[in-house]
Amino acid sequence: MKSGRRPGQRVLGWTLFLVWAVSLAGLQGILARHAAGSWVPDAALVLSVVVLARCEVGDLALLALLTAFARAATSGEPPLVLFTGILGALLAALAVRGAFELSGPLGRTLATAIAAGMFQAWISIARDAREVNHSIDFAAAAGTALPVALASALLAFALGPLLARLPGLTPLWSRSW
């Protein structure tokens, strides 16, 4: 318990993070069906990057796991593919956190673009790998990742501060916040 808060507060914070992430993943699914599907931002991943900006580094695995649970509730992808993709994307965002302040607009936008692009490319590669007699098309994976990365970066830029203030998330912030 590095944050100096009672364990119950952190459990409640993580539970509310999961509720918000599932809600955003569900909204993303609805928008993808009824709007321009390839340009729908990955809202749950944007929330994860916003939380990563302020939480302890040691919380990364739990953050990735809960985000994967949220995505698995609204996705047809295998949970292990979701978890490994989200973990890799958040590790990339963590690397950006070492160079930029993720709570600022530039760092948050850059980290989100990289994380969302990596995750979407990973999902495309995993889909190609599951198909019988089908080669993996890395160029197509990058092509499908670009619109999602740009839309997610725009969402992080515009609504990142609002997402950081969602009710119940403050027990997750590290002491430095």
Q: pLDDT tens-digit profile of 4-21?
A: 567 788 999 999 999 999
Q: Is the pLDDT of residue 1 over 60?
A: no
Q: Is the pLDDT of residue 38 over 80?
A: no
| Beta-carbon contacts of residue 172 (< 8 Å; ≥ 6 apart) | 3, 10, 13, 14, 17, 51, 54, 55, 59
Q: Which uninterrupted H or E stretch holds 68?
A: helix 60-74
Q: What is the pTM of this model?
A: 0.90
Q: Give tens-digit pLDDT for 70-88.
A: 999 988 899 999 999 999 9
Q: Is the pLDDT of residue 174 over 80?
A: no
The ranges assigned to domains in the chain are: 7-172
Q: What is the pLDDT of residue 75?
A: 87
Of 102, 95, 87, 94, nearest to 177 by C-alpha is 102
How many residues appear in the chain?
Answer: 177
Q: Give tens-digit pLDDT for 93-149.
A: 999 988 998 889 999 999 999 999 999 999 999 988 888 777 888 888 888 899 999
- What dihedral do alpha carbons 154, 41, 111, 135 form, nearest 10°? -130
Q: ∠ CA 113-115-118 to the nearest 5 degrees?
A: 100
Q: What is the pLDDT of residue 5?
A: 60
CA-to-CA dists, residue 37 to 34, 48, 97, 145, 176, angstroms: 7, 21, 29, 12, 38
Report the distance separating Cα 165 and Cα 93, nearest Å.
20
